[in-house]
Amino acid sequence: MKEETLTKDAIASRHPRSPSALLALLHDLQTANAGNCLTPDDLALAASHVGLPLSAVRDAATFYSMFSLRPRGRHIVRLCESPNCHLAGAWSALAELRRVLGVDIGETTPDGLFTLELTSCLGACGVAPVMMVDDEVVGNLTPARVRETLARYRGER
Ligand code: FES
């Protein structure tokens, strides 16, 4: 069953009532939202479900870069800015991302399809420079590979 067809309570019920389930629960709640973000109701539900104070849940949601409290695009493009990727040419990939998407870091394309973000090491340094589009790791980035990947997510290929 797709996430968006489940109620938030049904999503929560698939996770243990334990603080250790917090990050997975937040991930699933965020994925279920059209804006690819966590709402205040999501944070309250997560806090109640795993038995943590709301402030602790909000801290987790703001600490980890994969979560957002602001609406984002349907696809999240996250370029690694850590040293290995930087040295391997991440900034030319970033220039191409900015050019093709027409947005800057932290912004969403006007059609709501992509949000561009930076992130720390994605654990794929062997294929630096690296970006993630949603859950897909895309390595050995070149401007051409950036264009091809974005075109695929736009359904152009
Ligand atoms: S430094 Fe970019 S993936 Fe590790």
Binding residue per annotation — 125? yes
Residues 98 and 58 in one domain: no
pLDDT digits (tens, 9 = 90+) for 96-143: 999 999 999 999 999 999 999 999 999 999 999 999 999 899 999 999
Question: Does 132 reside within a domain?
Answer: yes
- Give residue 65's pLDDT: 82
Residues 88 and 141 in one domain: yes
Residues 55 and 92 in one domain: no
pLDDT digits (tens, 9 = 90+) for 26-78: 999 998 998 889 999 999 999 999 999 999 999 999 999 889 999 999 999 99
Question: Does 34 reside within a domain?
Answer: yes
Residues 81 and 46 in one domain: no
Residues 21 and 90 in one domain: no
Q: What CATH number corresponds to the domain at position 123?
A: 3.40.30.10
pLDDT digits (tens, 9 = 90+) for 113-124: 999 999 999 999
Question: Does 15 reside within a domain?
Answer: yes
Give the SS3 label for residue 109. coil
Determine what percent of the chain falls in helix, strand and coil, rounding each to the nearest 5.
50, 10, 40
- Give residue 116's pLDDT: 97
Residues 37 and 103 in one domain: no
Rounded to whole angstroms, the Cα distance separating 43 from 83 reads 33
Residues 54 and 98 in one domain: no
Query: Ligand 1 within 6 A of 11 CB?
Result: no
Mutate to test the pocket of ligand 1, among 65, 82, 140 (most ligand atoms within 8 A of CB): 82
Give the SS3 label for residue 97. helix
Query: Ligand 1 within 6 A of 85 CB?
Result: yes
Rounded mean pLDDT of the chain?
93
- Domain total in the chain: 2
Question: Does 68 reside within a domain?
Answer: no
Residues 125 and 89 in one domain: yes
Residue that finishes a domain, picked among 42, 63, 84 = 63
Q: Ligand 1 atom closest to Cα of 82? A: 1
- Give residue 1's pLDDT: 43
For residue 127, the CA-to-ligand 1 centroid distance in Å is: 8
Question: Does 69 reside within a domain?
Answer: no
Query: Ligand 1 within 6 A of 130 CB?
Result: yes
Residues 107 and 146 in one domain: yes
Domain region containing 86? 75-153
Residues 82 and 142 in one domain: yes
- Give residue 150's pLDDT: 97
- Give residue 5's pLDDT: 63
Question: Does 85 reside within a domain?
Answer: yes
User: Which of 154, 155, 77, 92 minimizes the C-alpha distance to 122?
Assistant: 77
Residues 149 and 102 in one domain: yes
Residues 87 and 149 in one domain: yes
Residue burial 6-34, b: 16+ Cβ < 10 Å; e: rest: eebeebbeebeeeeebbbebbebbbebbe
